Chain A
């Protein structure tokens, strides 16, 4: 197992109370796997990835876990300098907005050579050579000239390609992509996903793709984790999870995606209610106030993540109710 996270919690003490952004997450990623984390805004996806990268300042954040094992090392117990050696080298990250995550005052070449200079002890001329190869490999035309360009001279898609190149510069074992395509339009989105897919196949890099776009997750990932209010509510192989969701939230999410065969003029299906206030979570299941299948137990106990019975593949859900084959309200 490349990454094995057990019971990870990231809480932020604030004036209004403790914000439980990540509230006990288990996550396993095999070498070379593509894992998707989906969930609506505020479900803790980004905080989860930042916590794994060690980029959440603590204090103020309170971070605890049974373990965050990465390549045999516990990231939470690593010292700051050990963490720096891992970050950007073995564990890399692609950010959501390529417009703001590149430094406007440094050339693309300067920024891309940084991880190489920091981790690989290359001389600057070696780094330059490598960066030009990288730029070419992510499909940036005329990489020699583009080495000297500034970020504002790149289009959004090119910047995200440059970000991908920067993330994979040191050949990381795991790439965390935090909504890498959200800020891009659909055609560029497809190109970036294709690029990441080819990196995954050629370099054997495992990828955690964080997204709220079910389509992107379905197309890219082998395994999907569905997050709600800082917890994993369901996990399973992509095909099975999409074909037959076992958690009401997953089902509601999937049915809210507009379909081509929807009758024209119809209303979008939405999930009624609001995501819960993370400072003041419901006593039982966090989804219970919005759940059409809710039973009394749901309001009293937090459902544990358990294996879904009657499946040939490993699937888990955190729900007391068997919803397969049932319609809401039955």
Chain B
């Protein structure tokens, strides 16, 4: 008589059996099909889109690979009590263990990391290679790797609106700029906006909400009414207002800078009187504008402006949590050892908020990236020659028409944007499940 041995489920089956495997597999297939459809519609032969195809395959492979190897299989036994004790786990480590079991979230994390790595390496190499090689950006040979795949500002009159080729993997735009480089650059801008905006929104929102919730009473009343009022104002209206003001400032600054340049040129030519005349025309306000813009370029203003209007929900979430946390006994205990309010708020209460805050901020990053995309779409935000995924998609949309569809202009940036938005949302969901101790399986 043989002893019945339960056959261990393979990792592969664990991936297929995962409840979320159906939606992600279906969406992968749909995604590939849509690319094929677009390629056919554009009458682009397969040969010219190998990179796109490889890129897609790599992404799909990454998801599957991650699902199979990096995550803990669903049927893996949970570590025994003694093992856990021997390791010594913090709540955070425990949460990370649960997160690793979530295949969607882990897969998204890897893809997102790869995407960010690609984007930021373009950003870094674009700026660093000229410094290392000691030559000007324009001095690179037009068929060098730098000029073809890294320089998103190089225009080429002979190569406008080229579909994806072996040279220009993602095609070129109306000025002959390489879309691959532009997509990567746009990615770093979009990610930066998302991350910096979220950092601003988290730090403002958490501090505001924690202070309001902890002190309660009249302080709470006033602080939360301010939040309510800001809630009442249309979010994009505020950003547009800030951006318009800053753009005005930028215009003043650039005309002032031009005058400075003229004066410098005149001085160089030996015409001191003319230089002095130009300089005396510049008003102190114009000088201030010029200096302010040096320290706060418009791109930084986009970051901060979006961050400053998106902390409201964070403040409300934090306040609600703090209201219940401050009645907990460990807060009373902290007061009993003579701790001051700031210490109690930021050392005892805020760490306990980390769960909801981390979850909400991973969901804030895509939200802010979308806002930035919208702002760039309507023409505020990022200005040429810089670009973001949003501005690229808006340019691309202009290029899509029935007679001559320049589909690649829109598809690549939009796909990259939606891929990262999906990824961030999956990570947010995964974190929410992982950080909730009650969901521990």
Which residues in A have some Cβ–Cβ distance to B below 8 Å? 53, 55, 84-89, 92-93, 95, 97, 100-106, 114-115, 118-119, 148-150, 152-153, 163, 166
Q: Contact at A88–B332, with CB atoms within 8 Å?
A: no
Q: Contact at B337–A150, with CB atoms within 8 Å?
A: no
Contacts of B337 in A (CB 8 A): 87-88, 92, 114-115, 118, 166
Partner pick for A100 among B88, B90, B329, B339, CB 8 A cutoff: B329
Known: A106-B347, A148-B88, A153-B88. A101 touches B333 (CB 8 A): yes
The interface size bin for chain B is 20 to 34
CA distance A106 to B337 in the complex (A): 15
Contacts of A86 in B (CB 8 A): 338
Which residues in B have some Cβ–Cβ distance to A below 8 Å? 85, 88-91, 328-330, 332-340, 343, 347-348, 351-352, 354
Given A115-B337, A118-B343, 19 additional A-B pairs, CB 8 A? A55-B332, A55-B335, A84-B338, A84-B340, A87-B335, A87-B337, A87-B338, A88-B339, A89-B338, A92-B337, A95-B336, A97-B329, A101-B333, A103-B330, A105-B91, A119-B338, A150-B89, A163-B333, A166-B333
Q: Contact at A150–B352, with CB atoms within 8 Å?
A: no
Residue of B nearest to A85 (CB): B338
Known: A100-B328, A150-B91. A105 touches B351 (CB 8 A): yes
Q: Which of B85, B337, B347 has the most CB of A within 10 A?
A: B337
Q: Contact at A93–B336, with CB atoms within 8 Å?
A: yes
Known: A106-B351, A150-B90, A153-B85. A95 touches B335 (CB 8 A): no
Q: Contact at A115–B348, with CB atoms within 8 Å?
A: no
Residue of A nearest to B355 (CB): A105
Partner pick for A103 among B89, B348, B354, CB 8 A cutoff: B348
CA distance A163 to B328 in the complex (A): 16
Contacts of A149 in B (CB 8 A): 88
CA distance A89 to B338 in the complex (A): 8
Contacts of A152 in B (CB 8 A): 91
Contacts of A88 in B (CB 8 A): 336-339
Instruction: Pull 18 A–B residue pairs with CB atoms less than 8 Å apart, ordered by A.
Output: A53-B336, A84-B338, A87-B336, A88-B337, A88-B338, A102-B330, A102-B333, A103-B348, A104-B330, A104-B352, A105-B354, A114-B334, A114-B337, A118-B339, A152-B91, A163-B333, A166-B333, A166-B337
Contacts of A84 in B (CB 8 A): 338-340
Known: A88-B337, A92-B336. A104 touches B91 (CB 8 A): yes
- With both chains docked as a complex, state the minimum distance between the C-beta of B89 and any C-beta of chain A, in angstroms: 8
- With both chains docked as a complex, state the minimum distance between the C-beta of B299 and any C-beta of chain A, in angstroms: 36
Partner pick for A114 among B91, B329, B339, B354, CB 8 A cutoff: B339
Contacts of B91 in A (CB 8 A): 104-105, 150, 152
CA distance A166 to B339 in the complex (A): 13
Residue of B nearest to A60 (CB): B217
CA distance A88 to B343 in the complex (A): 14
Q: Contact at A118–B329, with CB atoms within 8 Å?
A: no
- With both chains docked as a complex, state the minimum distance between the C-beta of B332 and any C-beta of chain A, in angstroms: 6
Contacts of B332 in A (CB 8 A): 55, 95, 101
Q: Which of A53, A103, A118, A149 has the most CB of B within 10 A?
A: A103
Contacts of A85 in B (CB 8 A): 338
CA distance A88 to B334 in the complex (A): 9
CA distance A196 to B347 in the complex (A): 29
Residue of A nearest to B90 (CB): A150
Contacts of B340 in A (CB 8 A): 84
Contacts of B90 in A (CB 8 A): 150
- With both chains docked as a complex, state the minimum distance between the C-beta of A276 and any C-beta of chain B, in angstroms: 27
- With both chains docked as a complex, state the minimum distance between the C-beta of A84 and any C-beta of chain B, in angstroms: 4
Residue of A nearest to B217 (CB): A59
Contacts of B330 in A (CB 8 A): 100-104
- With both chains docked as a complex, state the minimum distance between the C-beta of A117 and any C-beta of chain B, in angstroms: 9
- With both chains docked as a complex, state the minimum distance between the C-beta of A91 and any C-beta of chain B, in angstroms: 9
CA distance A102 to B348 in the complex (A): 10
- With both chains docked as a complex, state the minimum distance between the C-beta of B386 and any C-beta of chain A, in angstroms: 41
- With both chains docked as a complex, state the minimum distance between the C-beta of A161 and any C-beta of chain B, in angstroms: 15
CA distance A32 to B72 in the complex (A): 57
Contacts of A153 in B (CB 8 A): 85, 88-89
The 8 closest A-B pairs by CB, nearest first: A88-B337, A88-B338, A105-B351, A87-B338, A101-B329, A100-B329, A115-B337, A101-B333
Contacts of B85 in A (CB 8 A): 153
CA distance A93 to B333 in the complex (A): 8
Contacts of B339 in A (CB 8 A): 84, 88, 114, 118
- With both chains docked as a complex, state the minimum distance between the C-beta of A59 and any C-beta of chain B, in angstroms: 9
CA distance A92 to B339 in the complex (A): 12
Residue of A nearest to B328 (CB): A100
Contacts of A166 in B (CB 8 A): 333, 337
Contacts of A95 in B (CB 8 A): 329, 332-333, 336
Residue of B nearest to A116 (CB): B337
Q: Which of B85, B88, B333 has the most CB of A within 10 A?
A: B333
CA distance A88 to B332 in the complex (A): 12
Contacts of A92 in B (CB 8 A): 336-337
CA distance A118 to B333 in the complex (A): 14
Contacts of B336 in A (CB 8 A): 53, 55, 87-88, 92-93, 95
Q: Which of A86, A92, A101 has the most CB of B within 10 A?
A: A101
- With both chains docked as a complex, state the minimum distance between the C-beta of A268 and any C-beta of chain B, in angstroms: 31
Q: Contact at B352–A105, with CB atoms within 8 Å?
A: yes
Residue of A nearest to B353 (CB): A105
Partner pick for B334 among A97, A100, A103, CB 8 A cutoff: A103
Residue of A nearest to B352 (CB): A105
Residue of B nearest to A59 (CB): B217
CA distance A313 to B21 in the complex (A): 80
Contacts of A102 in B (CB 8 A): 330, 333
CA distance A180 to B332 in the complex (A): 15
CA distance A118 to B335 in the complex (A): 11
- With both chains docked as a complex, state the minimum distance between the C-beta of A53 and any C-beta of chain B, in angstroms: 6
Known: A105-B354, A153-B88. A115 touches B333 (CB 8 A): no
CA distance A97 to B333 in the complex (A): 11
Residue of B nearest to A166 (CB): B337
Q: Which of B330, B335, B340 has the most CB of A within 10 A?
A: B330
CA distance A95 to B339 in the complex (A): 16
CA distance A105 to B93 in the complex (A): 12
CA distance A106 to B343 in the complex (A): 13
Residue of B nearest to A176 (CB): B336
CA distance A95 to B329 in the complex (A): 8
